[in-house]
A and B are shown apart, each in its own frame.
Chain A
Amino acid sequence: MPVDTHCPYCALQCGMRVSAGTVAPREFPTNRGGLCQKGWTSAAVLDSPGRLTVPLVRRDGELRPSTWEDALDLVAARLRALRAEHGPDSVAVFGGGGLTNEKAYLLGKFARVALGTSRIDYNGRFCMSSAAAAGIRAFGMDRGLPFPVTDLAGAGAVLLAGANPAETMPPFMQHLTDAELVVVDPRRTPTAEAATLHLRPAPGTDLALALGILHAVVADGHLDKEYLAERTTGFDDAWRVAAAWWPERAERVTGVAAADQRRAAALLAEADGAYVLTARGTEQHARGTDTVSGWINLALALGLPGRPGSGFGCLTGQGNGQGGREHGQKADQLPGYRRIDDPAARKHVAAVWGVDPESLPGPGPSAVELLDSLGSATKALLVFGSNLLVSAPRSAHVASRLAALDLLVVTDVVASETARQADVVLPVAQWAEEDGTLTNLEGRILLRRRAVDPPSGVRTDLDVLHGLAVRLGQPPQRFPTVAEEVFTELRRASAGGPADYSGVTYDRLRAGEALHWPVVSTDDPGTPRAFLDRFAHPDGLARFVPVDHGGPAELPDAEFPLQVTTGRVLAHYQSGAQTRLVEELVAAAPEVFVEVHPDTAARAGLADGDLARVTSRRGSTVARVRAVASMRPDLLFLPFHFPGAGRANLLTNPALDPVSRMPEFKVCAGRLSTVES
């Protein structure tokens, strides 16, 4: 029987139909019947030879097949011993933005209740944290797109800051065909090629650009004063900063012509409905939160957010990047997008969990800090749905930290690079093999249904959590294994929080209802468009935040004269653990490459197709040269999907954003040379 479900990969969550182990696109508002090559080929991972089907335990240095009972017993015993010796915070949990809401929720509960550790964070820290922090600062609430994706189709102009959807979520482009596109990206990406106006700031200077455009908005008479007065506060302070960024000054820092900044301002201001959207390119910086605030300030000055037909939003990356950041796998969070340091939130959630609020740990360290602590404060790490050895910054250091652990447990679908380093590997079911909900980039809750049987030998993540919790002395009913039951509990835990799911039921989802959170009761139709009447701050107003440009944490110098930026290509998803198992995708993008201006390559003695070495202060990567004439001569680009010596993250700088704790993936200093040197 064909089953309607959604793609296993990105946050667009394209509608697809799975039958007899094959996949076909289906009409759904976000993808309008389209799929990218990743979606089309996603069924290949179901029966890939790379699939894990038996628990593995390291003995005499080798990962060897084991049984579930033995593996879980072993993990539980080691965890108990470590906790007894070093305290509960010696055990840490690392989650992922690809996990379903149910898994993310139960994982957070497992950490706080069964392990009693404050040390839980997830790879969404590398993805959405800057946008989330800036959104909360400005609007009082973070929902990636606070409006349905389909609203974009009616826009007159859309500014995309650091987003390359033409490669990362192609069907999304169908919503942008009528709008004038302003694309902000240092590279001439396929998205930039589709733009009316391509602004190419030097890497790490996006905020100066946002300030320059804001200046132009004011100086050229585009400020929406009525909106400012009615719906916002704090403009004067933000202007004080932007006043110092007249477009000619912003031009010198960013390399974006003042005339183009003015044109961008005019395109947005004069359009019949405009949107400003951000994504990782502008967010993954040590000043990422401020940079997003800069774009939000621009959108507010133009009067866009909280009005039908215009707005501000961020494009979520991972499949459940939205739901994953709402239900408690983040170091400072409890379900429902509640703060773990808020006494009322602790009380509410503890009541749902049937534990004493006092017993809940407080906020823990963020992802990069957590990884830094491995082998010292942290003795054991449980990883769910993340291949952090490839996806975390400064990977060589991460590898050494993982190696210093007493115990590394990885649950995964495939033998990811991180799994191969583990002491215990637990094989779990994936996407089409189990039920679960996800929340897509527009805050809509979706049901992904079981369409095929999992291979024998694998269990679900919920089973794993249950098995471990029980072995750690938890009552079995506290860790349900049926997704719908977990969801029912999640509804109660989220009730009254900003991301309130209490009115969402599996039945409503099965019936095809389009439910965007908050959904506060079972007859609430949900909130497709947030903020129409008021923003989520107590006074109902949106806040301008005065932010100033600071520039990248690491600037080029004589030793490392170039800048390195990283990103994604169409054929692969994140660390590539899944997509690198799909023959067709490997054929399309077989290996890591470095995009570079032909002159810069020639200066390093390299030509298109040669193998090159890219080096930064943290490590070096070997990659195939792709000479691209449209590149800035001082810039290198590498996709981060590839393993081993091809890991782009061997180069990246773990300098952290002070607010979101996002590392600076998008710019560091580097140099290019032949492999031998």
Chain B
Amino acid sequence: MPRRVVVAGYGMAGARLAEEIRRRDPAGERVALTVVGAERHAAYNRVLLSAVLGGSLRPESVLLQDEGWADEHRVDLRAGTAVTGVDRSARTVTLSDGSTVDYDVLVLATGSRPWLPPVEGLVTEEGLAPGAVAFRTLDDCTRIVDAARPGAPVAVLGGGLLGLEAARGLAHRGNLVTVVHPVGHLMERQLDPAAGRVLAAKLATLGIETRLGVTAARYLPGDGLKLADGTYVAADLVVVSAGVRPASDLAEAAGLATDGGVLVNDALCTSDPRVHAIGDCARHPGTVSGLVQPAWEQAAVLADLLTGANPAARYRGTPVVTRLKARDVDLAALGEVHTEVDSADAEVLCLQDATRGRYAKLVLREDRVTGAIVLGVPDAAAAITQLFDRGTPAPADRLALLLGHAATAPPASPVDLPASATVCRCNTVTKRQLVSAWRAGARSPADLATATRATTGCGGCRDAVRTIADWLATT
């Protein structure tokens, strides 16, 4: 008899777990799988919602699985149904449709939900007041897109990663966007104040205004927001993106250990060995929750364990790299970002170029990258992330690393090359050989070619040979 595994949550973690389990156990011989998901859609890629908001992807393009997937893969999918209770002694879960399902193993993959800031008038009995929308689900996304008519003013509550992605998407659609952020600089968890300033300036060039260090006091439907400093932000629509909280209420009600998320160990077990948790709702000491990479890695490990494919599999954590996905704004932040330039025990480099929207800060310890903020230098961001992830020692030329492509020197003129330099690679002809051939009477590029075979391969050195010939003619 296969083990009965019930997954609560059909989001990015839950759907991935189902796929990983079926990849290891296609016929369902080891695991009988039930997936219960509160949303009515097939699972979709939440990370891409900003692209849907910005209009570059259509909602159907972000579905993770097509409608028939569950049936074809022997998954008992209960979409549009929530798990409302867990009875750990009876090993059953109760669903919102009143039914119960028995389990041998329960996996919590309930994700996180938006945190709603205490703004007067924002939250009503039925949830968010009209004209205010959170930014978490595909339905939210559709609501925002429907409400945000081009040219209309929109306020975004929260200048974190998601708020800024939403802001960028809306600005791209032609909305007049103001981001209201209670802290003195944007993305304060991932950026230092200086980087935050450069980012705000960059966003301004894209038509996004920021109101920093001030909270919203009141929501006035149809008008906008009144801020704590007494000023107003006009908005037909308010997008609430003030952070998320792990959805751990089920676990709490069932008496599992939680602390800002369901606590799990390296086997992704909660305090009850028959209950696991993965994704945003889980809290593992080795990572920060709220990102998809840990969720997917956890899904793979848990599938190894639940199917017995690899009983030794363990999840050890995922280093966190934050990457803003906003058109024309290239920002990556990783590791220790708040270490000061004058830190006594770390090596810190910092380059600010606010005029061009660039900021790059690099923190190293014992030659390894331990933190970085890279804004507006895309290829440096990519290279630094690789060093961080792989733990490779950083190159001694730190500046080149920080500058990326910009550091590449323009090629030297063939005239300035040393005599030993190869001018024609195809035929291994050095500058010295060309000079000797010239002295021996080959006085034109064509004669030089006959004498040395330079230019007779790919022809790429034709200009160089001509330049050398001209130079020899004048010296």
Contact = CB atoms under 8 A, between A and B. Distances in A.
Interface of A: 25, 33-37, 40, 166-167, 170-174, 177, 190, 194, 202, 218-221, 236, 239-240, 243-244, 246, 248-249, 251-252, 254-260, 556, 561, 570-571, 584, 587-588, 597, 599, 603, 629, 633-634
Given A37-B428, A603-B393, A259 B456 contact: no
A172 to B, nearest CB: 7
Interface string B38-71: 0000000101100100001100011111100000
B48 A246 contact: yes
Identify the 4 closest CB pairs spanning chains A and B, nearest first.
A173-B458, A170-B458, A257-B378, A259-B378
B51 A219 contact: yes
10 contacts: A35-B456, A167-B425, A171-B458, A177-B459, A218-B61, A246-B51, A252-B385, A254-B382, A257-B379, A629-B397
A489 B175 CA distance: 72
Given A174-B458, A570-B425, A634 B325 contact: no
Contacts of A166: 425, 458, 460
A257 B382 contact: yes
Contact of A244 (B45, B389, B390): B45
B227 to A, nearest CB: 32
Contacts of B51: 219, 246
B352 interface: no
A121 B379 CA distance: 43
B425 to A, nearest CB: 6
Contacts of A587: 428
Interface of B: 45, 47-48, 51, 56-57, 61-66, 293, 321, 323, 325, 330, 378-379, 381-383, 385-387, 389-390, 392-397, 425-428, 453, 456-460
A202 B51 CA distance: 27
Given A252-B385, A259-B378, A599-B396, 6 more contacts: A170-B460, A240-B64, A243-B45, A244-B45, A258-B382, A570-B426
A633 B425 contact: no
Contact of B392 (A25, A172, A239, A634): A634
Contact of A258 (B321, B330, B427): B330
B459 A173 contact: yes
Nearest to A597: B395
Contacts of B293: 249, 252
Nearest to B379: A257
Contacts of A254: 382
A634 B390 CA distance: 9
B453 A37 contact: yes
Contacts of A634: 390, 392
B459 A34 contact: yes
B458 A260 contact: no
Given A37-B426, A255-B382, A260-B378, A25 B456 contact: yes
Nearest to B426: A170
Contacts of B396: 599
Contacts of A221: 56
Given A37-B428, A246-B47, A248-B323, A239 B61 contact: yes
Contacts of A588: 428
Contacts of A248: 323, 325
Nearest to B69: A240
B389 A190 contact: no
B379 A174 contact: no
A582 to B, nearest CB: 12
Contact of B393 (A34, A252, A255, A599): A599
Contacts of B64: 240, 243-244
Nearest to A193: B411
A369 to B, nearest CB: 26
A185 to B, nearest CB: 15
A246 B323 CA distance: 11
A34 B379 contact: no
B323 A252 contact: yes
Contact of A251 (B323, B425, B456): B323
B14 to A, nearest CB: 15
A34 B268 CA distance: 63
A34 B456 contact: yes
Nearest to A37: B427
A229 to B, nearest CB: 16
Nearest to A175: B458
Contacts of A561: 392
A365 B330 CA distance: 50
Contacts of A584: 428
Contacts of B62: 243
Contacts of A172: 458
Given A36-B457, A173-B460, A260-B378, A220 B392 contact: no
A244 B64 CA distance: 8
A34 B386 contact: no
Contacts of A40: 427, 453, 456
B428 A259 contact: no
Contact of A243 (B48, B394, B426): B48
A574 B66 CA distance: 47
A323 B427 CA distance: 28
Nearest to A588: B428
Given A221-B56, A246-B48, A260-B379, A571 B458 contact: no
A257 B381 contact: yes
Contacts of A177: 459
A40 B449 CA distance: 13
A561 B393 CA distance: 11
Nearest to B411: A193
Nearest to B391: A561
A244 B293 CA distance: 11
A172 B426 CA distance: 11
A252 B458 contact: no
A199 B459 CA distance: 24
A249 B385 CA distance: 11
A202 B457 contact: no
Contact of A171 (B61, B381, B395, B457): B457
Nearest to B389: A252
Contacts of B460: 166, 170, 173, 194
B446 to A, nearest CB: 13
Contacts of A257: 330, 378-379, 381-382
A189 to B, nearest CB: 11
B370 to A, nearest CB: 17
A9 to B, nearest CB: 13
B378 A258 contact: yes
A223 to B, nearest CB: 10
B459 A174 contact: yes
